[in-house]
């Protein structure tokens, strides 16, 4: 592939934390970067113009969902995802693997691929490494992902078998790829076993991928297990390529991931929480449904510069939530995405100024996390 299109420049490091620039055909990504998720080619309740105002630079879309509806051929016919959803900045699609394993009603894995039933109408479909790449080429994101199997982290025997399959599939994805204007990332698996993670990171790093992802985390393991796996994997992955921690994005996970050398994150958490009236603040989450906000004149977060916090009181947002008005989801989503995008940007600035460890310590001290399992 033409590697100049997807060059990664490491600008500064502070211990394991990294600040870099990843060049893509739709613009430069300043890393670390947080990507909101546009499952069905839309970040729920938020327009592309609002995403730009928030400062989001990368958006993820899901191959499984878009393959089933409206179909990759239709997206290609409409000029690809960037044109279809009118997002002119960098985009990433996943391989469909994660959704097949978590959403499809039934699925059967074999050495060659996965047969599954659609969660929409029960119809039968099949993904192979080759078809996943082909679908992602039709969708046209800048970063596309190797087809992998995300297995239960607590089933050690199965994890090993599925990791071997993921490795064979990674090589098949590389062979199947034909578009020079897309970067295919390989995915490290291996559950919560340091030995398997080591094996997987070494194998994936040995292939010619322009970037690497860490899959199979935030799927039921503990936080210390996740942190230990990040340390193992990032100790092996090459310094000169970006590292993407898939499906992870609570505030404390972002800080802990950056501390351990992660460059790219994505998560549905900010928008999913917003639809349940939950908003991030520097001290933890609040729920705007709560009656204590009925007469509250303050914004969600007085330190936040987002459109919602500049204009609206908690009392108004609570009213929208209680009245089940759609604007509630939009305003709280804008705030939550901006909270994470700003957190990661301030982490980048701190790495450039060699004070990230201090920032991380202060943030983790004041932010009271909630259990986030199952929300990744």
Q: Which positions touch Zn ion (CB under 5 A)? A: 304, 306, 308-309, 335
Would you say 155 or 303 has its CB closer to Zn ion? 303
Contact in structure between 68 and 103 (CB atoms under 8 Å):
no
Contact in structure between 266 and 60 (CB atoms under 8 Å):
yes
Shortest distance, position 287 Cβ to Zn ion, whole Å: 15
93's CB contacts (< 8 A; 6+ apart) are: 60, 61, 62, 63, 66, 81, 136, 139, 141, 143, 144, 145
DSSP type of residue 29: E
80 three-state secondary structure: coil
* Cα maximum dimension of the chain: 61
Shortest distance, position 302 Cβ to Zn ion, whole Å: 9
Shortest distance, position 165 Cβ to Zn ion, whole Å: 43
Contact in structure between 213 and 188 (CB atoms under 8 Å):
yes
CA distance linking residue 44 with residue 41, whole number of Å: 9
Structure-token pair, residue 101: 């394993």
Would you say 104 or 306 has its CB closer to Zn ion? 306
E strand segments, the chain: 8-14, 17-24, 27-31, 33-36, 59-61, 91-93, 107-109, 114-117, 124-127, 143-145, 183-188, 211-214, 243-245, 264-267, 278-281, 284-287
**Beta-ladder partners of 109:** 114
Q: Answer positive or negative: Cα dihedral of 152, 156, 162, 163.
A: positive
Shortest distance, position 311 Cβ to Zn ion, whole Å: 10
Active site residue 73: no
Would you say 111 or 302 has its CB closer to Zn ion? 302
Catalytic residue among 142, 148, 263, 266: 266
Would you say 3 or 311 has its CB closer to Zn ion? 311
Would you say 116 or 312 has its CB closer to Zn ion? 312
CA distance linking residue 23 with residue 32, whole number of Å: 13
Shortest distance, position 331 Cβ to Zn ion, whole Å: 9
Would you say 197 or 318 has its CB closer to Zn ion? 318
Residue listed under structure tokens 């004041």: 366
Shortest distance, position 278 Cβ to Zn ion, whole Å: 13
Catalytic residue among 9, 94, 181, 263: 94
Residues marked as catalytic: 94, 266
């Amino acid at each position: 592939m033409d590697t100049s299109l997807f060059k990664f420049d490491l600008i500064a490091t502070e211990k394991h934390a990294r600040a870099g620039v990843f060049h893509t055909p739709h613009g430069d990504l300043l890393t670390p970067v947080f990507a909101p998720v546009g499952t069905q080619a839309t970040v729920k309740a938020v327009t592309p113009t609002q995403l730009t105002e928030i400062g989001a630079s990368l958006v993820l879309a899901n191959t499984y969902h878009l393959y089933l509806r409206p179909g990759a051929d239709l997206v290609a016919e409409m000029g690809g995802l960037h044109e279809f959803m009118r997002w002119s900045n960098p985009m990433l699609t996943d391989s469909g693997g994660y959704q097949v394993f978590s959403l499809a009603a039934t699925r059967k894995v074999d050495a060659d691929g996965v047969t599954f039933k659609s969660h929409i109408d029960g119809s039968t479909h099949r993904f192979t490494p080759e078809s996943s790449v082909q679908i992602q080429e039709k969708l046209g994101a800048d970063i596309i992902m190797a087809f992998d199997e995300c297995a239960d982290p607590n089933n050690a025997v199965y994890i090993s078998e599925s990791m071997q399959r993921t490795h064979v599939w990674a090589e098949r994805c590389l062979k199947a790829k034909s578009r020079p204007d897309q970067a295919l990332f390989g995915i490290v698996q291996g559950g919560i076993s340091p030995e398997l993670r080591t094996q997987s990171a070494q194998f994936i790093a040995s292939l010619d991928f322009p970037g690497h992802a860490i899959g199979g985390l935030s799927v039921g393991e503990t936080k210390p297990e996740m942190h230990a796996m990040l340390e193992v994997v990032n100790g092996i992955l090459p310094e000169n390529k970006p590292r993407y921690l898939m499906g992870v994005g609570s505030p404390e996970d972002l800080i802990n991931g950056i501390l351990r050398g992660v460059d790219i994150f994505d998560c549905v958490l900010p928008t999913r929480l917003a639809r349940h009236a939950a908003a991030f603040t520097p001290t933890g989450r609040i729920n705007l449904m709560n009656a204590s906000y009925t007469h509250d004149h303050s914004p969600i977060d007085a330190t936040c510069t987002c459109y919602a916090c500049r204009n609206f009181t908690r009392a108004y947002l609570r009213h929208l939530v209680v009245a089940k008005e759609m604007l509630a989801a939009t305003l709280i989503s804008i705030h939550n995405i901006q909270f994470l995008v700003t957190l990661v940007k301030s982490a980048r600035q701190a790495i450039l100024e060699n004070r990230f460890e201090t920032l991380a310590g202060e943030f983790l001290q004041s932010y009271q996390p909630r259990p986030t399992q199952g929300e990744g």
